[in-house]
Amino acid sequence: MTTPHVDPVGGIVGTPINRVDGALKVTGRAMYSEFPLDNLAHGVMVQSTVAKGTIVQTDTSAASRVPGVITILTTDNAPKLESLQKYEHEQGAAAYGTGAGRPTGRTLSLLQNKHVHYNGQPIALVIAESFEAATQAAALVRVTYRQEKPAVDFDAALASAYPYPAKIFGHEPPATRRGDLEAGLAAAEVRIDRVYTTPLETHNPMEMHATIAAWDGDRVTLWDSTQNVYGVRGVIAKALSIAEDHVRVISHFIGGAFGGKGSPWSHVVLAVMAAREVGRPVKIALTRRQMFGPVGGRPHTVQQVTLGAKRDGTLTALRHDATASTSAMDEWLETCVLATRMLYECPNQATSHNIVRLNLGTPTYMRAPGEATGLFALESALDELAYELDMDPIALRLKNYADADPETGKPWSSKSLRECYSLGAKHFGWARRNPKPRSMEDGEQLVGWGMATATYPARRMPASAVACIYPDARVVIKAASHDLGTGTYTVLTQLAADAIGVSIDAIEVQLGDTNLPRNPLSAGSMTVGSTGSAVHLAATAAREQLVQLAVTDPESRLHGTKHDDVRIRNGCLTVVGHPERNESIQELLARHAGQPIEGQGESRPGDETQQYAMHSFGAVFAEVRVDRDLGTVRVSRIVGTYAAGRVLNPKTARSQMLGGITFGLGMALMEHTLTDHRNGRYLNADLAEYHIPVHADIPSIEVHFVDERDDHVNPIGAKGIGEIPMTGVAPAIANAVYHATGVRIRDLPITLDKLLQG
Amino acid sequence: MQPFTYATADDPRDATRLAAGDAGARYLAGGTTLVDLMKLHVEQPTQLIDINALPLADVTELSDGTMRVGAMVRNSDLAHNETIRARYPVLSQALLAGASGQLRNMATTGGNLLQRTRCFYFRDTAMPCNKREPGSGCSAIDGRNRGHAILGTSDACIATHPSDMAVALVALEARVRILGPNRERVIPLAELHRVPDDHPEIETTLEQGELITAVEIPPLPFAVRSLYLKVRDRASFAFALASAAVALDVQDGIIRDARIALGGVATKPWRSPEAEDALRGGSAGMESYRAAAEAALAGAKPRRDNGFKMELARRTLVRALTRLEAGGTGR
């Protein structure tokens, strides 16, 4: 089925309007998860100081004496959650797994038992009159353990890796084979066989996780910093065995999330439990240090890539085996090899995902999960192959260009990767590149140029929205999606404005509240495709009702007109070709008893998923400067070109690409969560030591979008841009570092010690 | 954070009287280290004496040309002081290489000298640390120690002194003016910090209640040609992996005098008389610089993750000297 493309009647979609919530944010009026409530109590988590073992005793005597302490929940006295007790009783040892069926999804630390699975695990909760009192008391809780030897060293634990046992996202096989890999390798004239590694990373949004829970009788309201209000609602309802409609979750503004707030962590449920225990609203706001461990992050990966090719660059074999760390509680998978299956034409291929259990916090989705790490390995390996073949890296990629999805044979809903390569090469000046390593220098600096391909799937999930047009011509759009700081409020405003035919000033978008229509989590580059489509459909339905009213209302100047001949501009309905036959929305609705118009929109993936493979594509070009003696790497220039379908707002889109590319730069050169190899303690748990790029690290970044029309992917033709800018950047930089220095770093981040020793 | 009493002082003597005899007292200047460590429960003072109102925020020139820098002069102000920039570029550059603009606006001259190490294990009360808890053991020696010291270490502690400013000041042979409950004294900055030996918990030679009131920088004409080079993991807001403060007195191609200090690699701001000796009398050039670098690192002891600092520190020093010869700066 081909879904209709948005008719850009009002011409607002596609224009670079400012953020509609910008003024609220810069004047401090945007309310994050900091809602002022009377009688608010503060919770502070006590965390384990061992990585594996059993709690023998929790001594709260000193902590309880701190003035202002209300109560301390421990594994001895915390309320038992029947849902979890029942689940664990039924599952027994099989409780370890992907979380399917568990009331909380992943394993949360809710004080239901005395097991410790990682260093920093929440093991008690102090509730006090103030954050300060709770913090002081938390430091005075004394816990003794029966310790066991933990597995915290990734390299040492690799021997215990095993194949990921479940389907990915419920349908993708964890391992694949196509063609005959061995024959392909035998037919190869050139072969590359390399191992790439990426470290633990931590999301570190500016806003730490925070939750307020307030009960009113048997109903509870949460103000939570989350990408997934309905997901939080579901977990709270299941964990506490209460009806979903007794739980309301609000998340109007989020100060960054990056995947880490996609589903609730322990503190969210603990806040709800604590609020019920003390009979008051309870707030738990994590500290920066608490962001390391209890709320997820990117796992370690080690990836082996084997490429076989003919002398002309034709790939004859491609093997990509990834092993990622997970926790001792859950089987969570970093899906490193999915992109490898679809990115290049290669008849003989094998891929696999393996996991290794460590006594560390459970990993989760982080900034292009799977693609960012997987493409570092694949795109580095291709660069190595290009050098083996003495071939231009773009030419090598074009030689193996996939004109259809190589895994399924499906046509692409749209693909403009060739255009991305050529446009990027042009803007970067790639043609002037001498491929020889160490061929460019600038004083003390060696200069290098590298490139890589970027891609991310264009997915969507069922979403719903309501568009209300009030008699005063004000339009309210309701959808329980979220704005993570990316511009969701803004692009939904644009979509609704164009669909109805009103100015953006007439529109108010309401997000982040389970009292609004159900929407999926805002993640995986799905928000525009999912919620955007639903809003477009809802607003279009509301417009149709307006038109229907007008053409059937004998008192209207548009009475008797055919639907298709009515146009709405700036809130005024007109008959095409008859400008005198017009009426404002106010005039029209004034005759209808002050009743608002309400349009419903439901969007869900349709047949297109069966017919097409759907991905965004891009190309990243990087220039680095590496100090010839000191090994310091600074990126001096990045050009990113992307084809992501329709760009709804070039300004917010560009901002998103700049942010994502900067994330990629951090991944390449800096980000690394350090844990102690003896006890799994998170060591660099602050923003002074956990490095992300600062302004001085961020170079000139040029972003270009290829004009691309996609009539298949979803009703609005936008493929999503949340994650793609993170992909391809790390390998482009690593490839540039090789070009500059002749040293190939296969272990992220690329730090000067590795170059000095390389 | 644990509860504490809070007092303000507007006269240095009052401040020292408040602190006298109270082992739980700490002076609060910019707070950029202290408050941070209090939040981590590493510092648990029972009394904070706020010295921000003390009249110690001036930079003045004494009759002999010595620059007296009040202890409360903010790092930003000192870095941009015209006289300091002209006479001691190494100091201005070191200050601007430290922390971030916001932190430099708060951090003070006295406080910077007393900032605590960034060692992960010192900052985590769940881990043994001889500096924080004498006798508990050093977690860093066999732990993650990429950022740790290779000079001035002991079997009890390998924590790096994090200051940039102090490295420049020790090269300039600065003195520290100290006011105690009973007396005022002036000591060379080189004698303020201790190497850890068996007592890493004792970081300075300050006595209980003593207050740094000023840093005095004697005239050093050849320091107009000096620079501070800092090598770190990102372009700004990162502690040094290695740094070098250098000043050379070169006449007719011969090095008549030199000042060399290293940062990021030692347990205290590390003056290197060995490097200075190697340079003095030699001809300005790569050969002398390499010899100085070898001499500076001769006693270094690398550990599991920080072996790269040996070569990095040598190259940093050589680069600093080369750039100085070429008339460049550390920035």
- pLDDT tens-digit readout, A187-241: 999 999 999 999 999 999 999 999 999 999 999 999 999 999 999 999 999 999 9
Residue A84: pLDDT band (50, 70, 90) is: very high
The question of whether A544 is a catalytic residue gets the answer: no
Residue A95 is predicted with a pLDDT of: 65
Nearest chain A residue (CA) to B126: A49
Q: What does the block give as tokens for A241?
A: 């065995």
Nearest chain B residue (CA) to A631: B312
Bigger pLDDT: B63 vs A757: B63
How deeply is A522 buried, as exposed, middle or buried, from its count of CB atoms within 10 A (0-12, 13-18, 19+)?
A: buried
C-alpha closest to that of A106 among A365, A352, A484: A365
Pairwise CB contact (< 8 Å): A753 & B118: no
Residue A93 is predicted with a pLDDT of: 59
What average pLDDT does the structure give for chain B? Answer: 97
> In this model, does residue A542 exceed pLDDT 80?
yes
* Mean pLDDT value of segment A630-643: 98
Q: Percentage of chain B with pLDDT > 90?
A: 97
Pairwise CB contact (< 8 Å): A694 & B235: yes
Phi, psi of A463 (to 5 degrees): -145, 155
Strand, helix or coil for residue A192 = strand
> In this model, does residue B158 exceed pLDDT 90?
yes
**How far lies A146's CA from each of A72, A149, A674, in Å?**
22, 10, 25
CB of B241 within 8 Å of a chain A CB? The answer is yes
> In this model, does residue A7 exceed pLDDT 80?
no
Residue A229 is predicted with a pLDDT of: 98
What average pLDDT does the structure give for chain A? Answer: 96
Q: Which residues in chain B have their CB less than 8 angstroms from residue A130's CB? A: none
Residue A6 is predicted with a pLDDT of: 46
Contacts of residue B279, Cβ cutoff 8 Å, sequence gap at least 6: B248, B255, B258, B260, B288, B289, B291, B292, B321
| Interface mutation target, options A44, A152, A445, A689, chain B, most CBs of B under 10 Å | A689
Residue A1: pLDDT band (50, 70, 90) is: very low
Catalytic residue chosen out of the listed positions A583, A702, A708, A723: A723
Indicate whether this model's pTM tops 0.95. Answer: yes
Which helix (DSSP H) or strand (DSSP E) does residue A454 occupy?
strand A445-457
Residue A36: pLDDT band (50, 70, 90) is: confident
Nearest to B311 among A634, A684, A756 (CB): A756
Is A382 within 8 Å of A396 (Cβ atoms)? Answer: yes
| Interface mutation target, options B144, B318, B325, chain A, most CBs of A under 10 Å | B144
One-letter identity of residue B28: L
Residue A535: pLDDT band (50, 70, 90) is: very high
* Mean pLDDT value of segment A41-66: 98
C-alpha closest to that of B202 among B116, B273, B105, B281: B116
Pairwise CB contact (< 8 Å): A693 & B139: no
Nearest chain A residue (CA) to B308: A753
CB of B228 within 8 Å of a chain A CB? The answer is no
* Mean pLDDT value of segment A249-254: 97
Is A354 within 8 Å of A165 (Cβ atoms)? Answer: no
| Interface mutation target, options B265, B308, B321, B322, chain A, most CBs of A under 10 Å | B308
Query: What's the CA gap between A272 and A240, in Å, rounded?
Result: 9
CB of B97 within 8 Å of a chain A CB? The answer is no
Q: What is this model's ipTM? A: 0.97
Nearest to B231 among A132, A630, A681 (CB): A630
Nearest chain B residue (CA) to A48: B126
- Read off the pLDDT of residues B57-67 as tens digits, 9 standing for 90 and up: 999 999 999 99
| Interface mutation target, options A670, A753, A754, A755, chain B, most CBs of B under 10 Å | A753
Q: Which residues in chain B have their CB less than 8 angstroms from residue A757's CB? A: 308
* Mean pLDDT value of segment A354-375: 97
Residue B2: pLDDT band (50, 70, 90) is: confident
- Read off the pLDDT of residues B95-147 as tens digits, 9 standing for 90 and up: 999 999 999 999 999 999 999 999 999 999 999 999 999 999 999 999 999 99
Q: Percentage of chain B with pLDDT > 70?
A: 100
Nearest chain B residue (CA) to A137: B2
How far is C-alpha B33 from the geometric centre of its chain's CA atoms? 13
Residue A2: pLDDT band (50, 70, 90) is: very low
> In this model, does residue A389 exceed pLDDT 50?
yes
Residue A529: pLDDT band (50, 70, 90) is: very high
Nearest to A697 among B127, B234, B241 (CB): B234
* Mean pLDDT value of segment A536-546: 97
Pairwise CB contact (< 8 Å): A681 & B319: no
Closest Cα of chain A to B130: distance in Å? 17
Is A73 within 8 Å of A111 (Cβ atoms)? Answer: yes
Is A60 within 8 Å of A134 (Cβ atoms)? Answer: no
Tell me the residue ranges of DSSP E strands in B180-252. Answer: 184-188, 211-217, 226-231, 242-251
Under 8 Å CB pairs connecting chains A and B tally to 82
CB of B3 within 8 Å of a chain A CB? The answer is yes
Residue A4 is predicted with a pLDDT of: 41
CB of B286 within 8 Å of a chain A CB? The answer is no
Q: How many CB atoms lie within 10 A of CB A398?
A: 14
The string over A673-685, giving b where at least 16 C-beta atoms fall within 10 Å of a residue's C-beta and e elsewhere, is bbbbbebbbbbbb
Q: Which pairs from A79-82 meet CB under 8 Å and 24+ separation?
A: A79/A273, A79/A276, A79/A277, A80/A112, A81/A110, A81/A112, A81/A239, A81/A240, A81/A241, A81/A273, A82/A241
Nearest chain B residue (CA) to A49: B126
Q: Which residues in chain A have their CB less than 8 angstroms from residue B239's CB? A: 688
